[in-house]
A and B are shown apart, each in its own frame.
Chain A
């Protein structure tokens, strides 16, 4: 990529960064800042700004590394590979594999949902997809490393992971019961029609 197109790409990303949610947060930040100034005094407001600067300088080096890793993951772990893991196994084994795959799958919803949608179209069980999505959102290793561990400390992370690692299985189990129940009722109604 030459310099000009690289500059353009960065400019485009900057524009994306300043979208409608940016305006929302701008209003929120300015509004709460004003309220802070008026209700708690200017010193408190400046104090808050200093704390924010500390937090930002603490987070930025981590987020830069995370951005680099996220850029490489699609190359190292192509969507097709994860799809193969999930598509080939079913039953309890499938749910367990889906949970494990979900927690190592990095990236935001833009990466994960097309994969899950493709698997749904290919006929993967809904309980398997629910286990994957639950593990991806609750146990995602990337989010734990970048956000939770630095901000909340290791004890919090350990307790949360300990009480959460069975959640994908519980969600999948409830989903499976609901699917069975719905199928059984459909069967009954079809039976009455005959």
Chain B
């Protein structure tokens, strides 16, 4: 077992103890709720991993490296930001894609732009939650204010990686 797994379980244990001591009456609901969450995403996780694995074998690595590789610079950051903004779904879907992109030769700064665009723009979240609960005007304002964030993060990362080398 690796350190992060241990860290996460220690965190879960500490939360569990606090819930048990301070909110004893609510403690009974924790286990069934955790099982529901876990069982709920398992089928999609397995399929997303399968699909990502197969696609990584199909994608020509040279093309990826040319387009959004380490040396693709600002152009690569912009392309990665654009693609990331259109990836629907939560981390179950996006992280297998990120791993595939990394193994295919995508540069780290470009990956950061991709992840930032995916998390900030999140088309699925806008359609399902934000526009319905907050209204389109709010979504438009937030999206308009967030368009620059992914390229900004990508450029910042490029700079930082250059300094680190």
Contact = CB atoms under 8 A, between A and B. Distances in A.
Interface of A: 1, 6, 9-10, 12-14, 16-18, 21-22, 25-26, 28-29, 32-33, 35-36, 39-40, 44-45, 47-49, 51-52, 55-56, 59, 61-73, 75-76, 108-110, 113-114, 116-117, 120, 126, 129-130, 133-134, 137-138, 140, 143, 145-152, 156, 159-160, 162-164, 167, 170-172, 174-175, 178-179
B142 A133 contact: yes
Given A21-B89, A48-B53, A71-B33, A137 B122 contact: yes
B15 to A, nearest CB: 4
B91 A147 contact: yes
B4 A72 contact: no
A40 B53 CA distance: 13
Contacts of B98: 151-152
A60 to B, nearest CB: 8
Contacts of B144: 174-175, 178
A70 B34 contact: yes
Interface string B1-45: 110110111011001101100010010111111111111111111
A164 to B, nearest CB: 5
A39 B120 contact: no
Contact of B119 (A16, A17, A138): A138
B95 A171 contact: no
Interface string B128-142: 111001100010011
15 contacts: A10-B32, A13-B40, A17-B43, A22-B43, A32-B50, A36-B54, A45-B57, A59-B45, A63-B41, A66-B8, A69-B15, A120-B134, A137-B120, A162-B160, A174-B145
Interface residues of B, number: 83
B123 interface: no
A86 B57 CA distance: 47
Contacts of A137: 119-120, 122
B73 interface: no
Contact of B42 (A17, A72, A114, A143): A17
A176 to B, nearest CB: 9
B91 A116 contact: no
Nearest to A26: B47
Given A55-B49, A62-B4, A114-B133, 7 more contacts: A17-B44, A22-B47, A48-B57, A55-B96, A145-B8, A156-B112, A175-B142
B58 A159 contact: no
Contacts of B122: 137
B53 A134 contact: no
A56 B40 contact: no
B152 to A, nearest CB: 7
